[in-house]
Structure 1
Amino acid sequence: MGIEKVISVDPSPQNHALLYNSLALNNVNNGAVIHVMNPISDGHYEYNGITKTDDNKIDNSGDSLDFSLSEPYNGTLTTITLKDIFGINPEENTYIIKIDVQGFECKALTEFLKMERKPKSVPYIQMETVELCYKGFDGPCFESYKTEFLPLLESSGYIPHVPLPTTYQDLRDQCYFDVLFVHKDAKPFPYWDDRLSRFSFVQNYHQQK
């Protein structure tokens, strides 16, 4: 079975170097991965590793768009959207999303979730949710996570797993570290297999309310 094309979106050159080295060490053709060195958001903004201001520029105060840079980026990047990512490989109709953007997941996914007719099939969304629901982080999606973002995922047909299937009320009551959202029309994911589910996450702890 061949390896499907992967689009890696990350503003950190260090992270791309780690990915490239990992591919080389595992004898995976680097052509299987498209490297995109941009942050993702809900629009196109100038970015230097800190924040977006009202005039579509980035300054160094307030909430961060992305905390993944191990060192400040020396230059300016432009944020891209999920629609832009879909356009990189337009002939592909199915995408699996693994996203960790430090509490800005609503910025990246809300426009897609609001579409009545989705432009691409996304059967699985693996998402770090702890920074969306834990008060200690209090990021830009915190206020809307339970009242707007989770209802959008539910109305779009996604079933949450932690790793076994759970309810949206459970997500409102507990703050899990990771959640896998499986679309109701997707091929069943083997997290509920007794041989696999115990090992699906190393530790999916939840924070207190």
Structure 2
Amino acid sequence: MSSFKLTKYQINTTLLVFTFVFLGLNLITTERDIQGNYDFQIRIISPKKYLRAHKFVNIVKDDDLPIIQPYICIRALNKVLDPIKYLLCVKNVKEDIISKGLVEEGKFEEEIVSIVSDCVKIYPQATFIDIGANIGLMSMAALANNNKVIAIEPMINNIAYISASAKLNRKSHLIRYFNNAISNTRMRLYAWEEKQSKNGGGTIFLTKEELDAKTTSIVDTVEISSIILEDVLDQVDTEEAIIKIDVEGFECKVLYDYLASEEKKVYIPYIVMEWLLVLRNEGNNCPNLPLVIQAFYDSGYEPFDTFKRGPLSKDRVLKYWNNILWVHRTARKIPLSETPLDKFTIYFANNVTMVI
């Protein structure tokens, strides 16, 4: 009987092949990732256990997402207060203003990213709820601190970008995706956006009647289910949650019932929200603004500006602010200023400024 023996060369070659296979399966973040050529068909294991199934919340996993080709995946850098770094996949800079800011300057809404970063650091066990997550800029800031994240985003392509970034940061096990719109009622809604808009978060959701009444053409006829904040809080498995909300003027509808209720399901020490469209009562979605503001105060929240983090008087809240940070009086405090702003210049897109 002849015996089978491997030469030293064959043994070394076999070991080398196994080494390359092992490295290929385990190294996810590569130079190709950074250049936007990553094969996003590779699936990362989703969280093994969700809370009870919810008939309204559309929880999507990586396998449910469309395949996307990012313009580039870059390392975003936030320089305000405590610097944080993370990878973020962006869209074509000619078509998306958020991506343009990130590619050209390495940042977008830097002051909000800093607030989110500070909040999750003093509440490391809290769930970060990113309402209107877009491509996941704020979600990645929370994941950088290893907080659990719920990203709520009605546009499935945006969720695919968030998922891609979470994979590159190796944080997929910490984030869940809810493919829903959010309001104060559960209903079917339809996406509408101005044809030439480059605001990646500028899509609004209308009823069928409202959509039919629009005279301008639509970009996408996505049909989506809206949920309410209570549905989201049912899915939170931590005692605290931090909320960032940017839903194009629907903030009042989303938050009011929670604020007005005497018993809160989840303690929310910080809420950072877009404010300008709320003040304008955009789409008549916040006709009860005085009641909403009073509900914040009655629930124990105090308002701060997001630029210098100074306190806002009740009169100043009614001025044009781009964003407001609401801080619960019992919250552990992030760095805040005790000095109210005198005058401040807000810079918008297209070189528009406003002195307030």
Residue 20 to residue 71, structure 1, CA distance change in 2 (3 Å): farther
How far apart are residue 203 of structure 1 and its match?
A: 5.0
Number of the residue aligned with 2:272: 126
SS in 2 for 1:106: helix
Q: Given residue 20 of structure 1, which amino acid in structure 2 is its aligned partner? A: S
Please identify the structure whose Cα radius of gyration is greater: 2
TM-score by length of 2: 0.47
Q: Go from structure 1 to structure 2 and tell me whether the alpha carbon gap of 1:87 and 1:142 turns closer, same or farther (over 3 Å shift).
A: closer
Instruction: Determine the C-alpha separation between the residues in 2 that align with 1:38 and 1:77.
Output: 6
* Count of residues in Structure 1 that have an aligned counterpart in Structure 2: 185
Query: Structure 1-normalised TM-score?
Result: 0.77
1:86 alignment partner, one of 233, 238, 254: 233
- Report whether the alignment pairs 1:47 with 2:189: yes
Alignment partner, residue 186 of structure 1: 331
Q: Which amino acid aligns with 1:48?
A: Y
Cα separation, partners in 2 of 1:207 and 1:138, compared to 1, 3 Å: farther
**Counterpart code for 2:181:** P
Report what 2:155 is aligned to: 12
Instruction: Report the alpha carbon displacement of residue 166 of structure 1 after superposing the two structures with TM.
Output: 1.8
CA distance in 2, matches of 1:123, 1:176: 21
**Alignment check: 8 A CA contact 2:276 2:321 kept:** yes
Helix, strand or coil at the partner of 2:284: coil
* Secondary structure of residue in 2 paired with 1:43: coil
CA distance in 2: counterparts of 1:193 and 1:28, whole angstroms: 38
Q: Which amino acid aligns with 1:39?
A: A
Hey, what's the Cα distance between the residues in 2 that align with 1:62 and 1:126? 32
Task: Using the TM superposition, give the Cα deviation of residue 123 of structure 1 relative to its aligned residue in structure 2, in angstroms.
Answer: 0.3
Describe the SS at the equivalent of 1:34. Answer: strand
Contact 1:99 1:127 in 2 (8 A): yes
Secondary structure in 2 aligned to 1:175? coil
> Are 1:46 and 1:79, in contact at CA under 8 Å, matched by a contact in 2?
yes
Partner of 1:156: 299
TM superposition shift of 1:154: 1.0
Q: Match of 1:35?
A: 177
Distance 2:147 2:154 in 1: 22
- Aligned residues with identical type, % of pairs: 25
Report the residue type matching 2:301 in the other structure: Y
Q: Is the 8 A contact 2:347 2:354 kept in 1?
A: no
- Deviation per CA, 1:81-104: give whole Å up to 9, x if none: 111101113x32211100000001
Q: Evaluate the alpha carbon distance shift between residue 31 and residue 73 of structure 1 in structure 2; reply closer, same or farther with a 3 A threshold.
A: farther
Query: Which deviations, in whole Å up to 9, do the C-alpha atoms of 1:138-190 show, x marking residues without a partner?
Result: 33234322x21111111111111102122222112x11001000000001121
Q: What's the counterpart of residue 197 of structure 1? A: none
Distance change (3 Å), C-alpha of 1:30 and 1:189:
same
Distance 1:61 1:191, change over 3 A: farther
Match of 1:60 among 211, 221, 225: 211
SS at match of 2:268: coil
- Distance of aligned partners of 1:175 and 1:48 in 2 relative to their CA distance in 1, 3 Å threshold: same
**Aligned equivalents of 1:45, 1:144: Cα separation in 2:** 21
- Displacement of 1:191: 3.4
For structure 2, the 5+ residue unaligned runs are 1-123, 125-144, 192-204, 340-344
Cα separation, partners in 2 of 1:138 and 1:80, compared to 1, 3 Å: closer
Deviating 4+ runs (over 4 angstroms)? 202-209
Query: CA offset at residue 59 of structure 1?
Result: 4.4
Q: Is the 8 A contact 1:99 1:128 kept in 2?
A: yes
- The match for 2:284 is 140
